[in-house]
Structure 1
Amino acid sequence: MTDSHKKHITISEGATSFTKDYLGLPVIDRDGVKIGKVADLAVMMGEEFPWVSSVAVLVKIRVSLLGTAKFEAIIPWKAVNTVDDDRIVLKIAYSEIKPGKLEKGELLFKRHVMDQQIVDNDGRRLLLVNDVKLRAAGEALVLVGVEVGIKGLLYRLGAGRRLERVARMMNVKIMENIIMWDLVEQFDDQMKLIKLSISQEMLKDLMNL
């Protein structure tokens, strides 16, 4: 693929994407060697709108003439060179990639955020997180909200693209149901809860539910 076909990680200011758009993408090192696939994205918590800090990559290595093994590498986002619709290219070589662990304050979207229970400010259970919405800001990907609607759920079940094709044929737009991250008061991955700063009634008004 030539440079003219590549999208730098600054794809376009304000461009949005979801975690599902990255999961499973092949990861290529700086020498063009495929090292594995994206297993997850890590986010550095602590800001009003946290940013993607690392990519979790499932790396395949050959251990003998007959077999291979896999390990998970945590690669800093600053080591990502380009992002295509069909791959991620790194600035570093395969030899520089080692098994890693998350930094303090880092959480994984798929492992720690998706499927979490959302509760309102009174603790009433509302919805589950189906996906995470991101926005490009310079060379960063920023967490702007979580998807809680039928569209995100169907994508996770593998039926999202089929649904969109049918919707286009019928000239129907399937709306995203996004809860903005600045409405989150508390995130507890141990209790698997995301607590909002507003009531169930206020959320319904904001999302036109």
Structure 2
Amino acid sequence: MATYLSQILNRPVWDAQGRRLGRCVDVLVAETTEAYPALRAIQVKDRGADMLIPADTIAWLSPSIILNSSTPERYDLRGDELFLRDQVLDQQIVDIEGRRLVRVNDLQLARSGPDGRYYLVGANIGTLSLARRLGIENTAARLFRALGRDVEERTIPWEEVASVEVDAPIRLRVTRERIREMPAPDIAEIVSDLDRDAGQALMEDLDDATAAETMSEIEPDLQRAILEAMTPDRAADVLEEMAPDDAADLLGTLAPEDRAHLIGLMEAEDTRQLIKLLAYPEDTAGGIMTTELSTIPVGLTVGEALEYLRHSAEAREDEAMYYVHVVDESRSLVGVLALRELVMADPRTPVAEIMRRQPITVDTLMPQTEVARLVAKYDLLAVPVVSENGTLEGVVTVDDAIDAIIPTAWKKRLPRFF
């Protein structure tokens, strides 16, 4: 049978001889990485004095709190306890399984094992748990039945919980490892739903690569606020992990002196790419292109091209690698072919026989709206950007192209090809 924290708090505590020791004001569990932490002690207050009673002297928590001793020992804090009322109740948490932000209305404990020990097993987030805390659970249940609504108790197993509060205790900070395993769009949605301090704290807990992916999914205004809250070194590290076009867009929102300072902290190779992108107006092909793309030299066979790509540092940076671009010694674009075409062809076939020699291209100053029109017209996932003399400068991916014609929030919901 489940026992709820709301049913324990402020209840009288009785010893084995029926003497009242005070009332329970908090419940302590162990801060561990275990899925379901064990009860350590209860905090009892009597006439202004507090005492901690160890869990092994607790016979029952519900319907009454009864001890198995008339002279209970005192519990000494070890420094790794979690106070459920003070540190967990009403906190914002992430439901890892549901990938959503919720608030803890109540907490569920259950007995298990031959010794009948209590464990923290779940966080209650539904309407009924809130009604139970207010002491109107039965009234609320009758009201919902009268309205023909079936309201169930909503409980998240504790192993699927991770805290996102700024001052979250150690135990809950450990579970943030679970958040880092979530897809970046889900983390971004959670960060966007949090207040600014909590959102920034969560971003600080992410590694650079995850923070960069998440940042790319957040709306521009919040992106800037989060970046400005980071230390300059941390901000530079995150920018280095972002796709060059996304990093350039974000840097473009900063004051010139702040932008120059962050660029100065970045690696030389990343700096060169960003300065190149920032030189173009933001609503042109050059301003929205990415410099992460895959190229092969002209004159290779299919087998040689695949081997070249396996050892290409440039190709390793191209996470999607949907298209492969054929260039000559001066990096002029000679042709384009899909990676699928390359993989499926006979290794002995010259690449020149299967590549498209006159691919659709755009120049660096073409307006973004025109780029979007071409991408839609020719059903492209990316379009090469070339200079006046035909040099390959980058590519514009479909998601960046269509940003000109649909809202950013809608774009984030589209399938991710890149």
Cα deviation digits, residues 125-177 of structure 1 (max 9, x gap)? 71111111122103111111111121112222333232123345667542122
**Residues 1:171 and 1:77: Cα distance change in structure 2 (over 3 Å):** farther
Residue 42 (structure 1) aligns with: 28
**Partner of residue 25, structure 1:** 11
Distance 1:189 1:39, change over 3 A: farther
Q: Does the 8 A contact of 1:17 with 1:134 survive in 2? A: yes
**SS of residue matched to 1:24:** coil
1:16-165 to structure 2, matched below 5 A, reads: 16-46=2-32, 47-60=34-47, 70-85=48-63, 87-93=64-70, 102-119=77-94, 126-138=101-113, 139-165=116-142
Q: For structure 1, which segment, 169-178 or 23-32, has the greater mean C-alpha deviation from structure 2 after superposition?
A: 169-178
Hey, what's the Cα distance between the residues in 1 that align with 2:68 and 2:86? 26
C-alpha distance in 1 between matches for 2:29 and 2:83: 6
Q: Distance in 1 between matches of 2:153 and 2:146?
A: 18
**Which has the larger displacement, 140-149 or 151-160?**
151-160
Distance 2:123 2:94 in 1: 13
> Equivalences for 1:154-193 in 2 at 5 Å?
154-167=131-144, 173-185=150-162, 190-191=167-168
Local SS of the residue matching 1:57? strand
Between the aligned partners of 2:124 and 2:62, the Cα distance in structure 1 is: 23
CA deviation vs aligned residue, 1:28-81 (integer Å, no higher than 9, x gap): 122321111111211112022101111111123xxxxxxxxx212110010113
User: 2: distance between equivalents of 1:120 and 1:167?
Assistant: 25
Task: For 1:49 and 1:131, locate their aligned partners in 2 and report how far apart those are by CA, in whole Å.
Answer: 16
> Are 2:26 and 2:84, in contact at CA under 8 Å, matched by a contact in 1?
yes
Structure 2 counterpart of 1:190, one-letter code: D
What SS does the aligned partner of 2:151 have? coil
Provide the rounded CA distance (Å) in 2 between the counterparts of 1:187 and 1:107: 15
Aligned residues of 2:42 and 2:54 also touching (Cα < 8 A): yes
- Give the match's secondary structure for 1:54: strand
Q: Deviations over 1:84-118 (max 9, x none)?
A: 41x22223336x566x6633211111111111111
Q: Give 1:64's aligned residue.
A: none
- Give the number of the structure whose residues are more often helix, by fraction: 2
Structure 2 CA distance for aligned equivalents of residues 20 and 155 of structure 1: 7
Amino acid in structure 2 at the alignment position of 1:79? T
Aligned partners of 2:95, 2:152: CA distance in 1, in Å?
Answer: 22
Larger Rg: 2
SS of residue matched to 1:110: helix
Distance 1:72 1:38 in 2: 10
How far residue 189 of structure 1 moved from its aligned partner, in angstroms, is 7.5
Q: Which runs of 5+ in 2 are unaligned?
A: 187-418
Going from structure 1 to structure 2, the CA distance change for 1:186 and 1:84 (only over 3 Å counts) comes to closer
Letter in 1 for 2:40: S
CA RMSD of aligned residues (A): 3.1
Looking at structure 1, the residues matched to 166 and 52 of structure 2 have their Cα atoms a distance apart, in angstroms, of: 19
Report how many aligned residue pairs link the two structures: 174
Work out whether residues 93 and 163 of structure 2, in 8 Å CA contact, stay in contact via their aligned partners in 1: no
Distance 1:73 1:150, change over 3 A: same
Q: Which has the higher contact order (CA 8 A, sep 6+)?
A: 1
How many Å separate the matches in 2 of 1:163 and 1:17? 19
**What amino acid is aligned across from residue 35 of structure 2 in structure 1?**
E
Check 1:154–1:145 CA distance in 2 against 1; reply closer, same or farther (3 A cut).
same
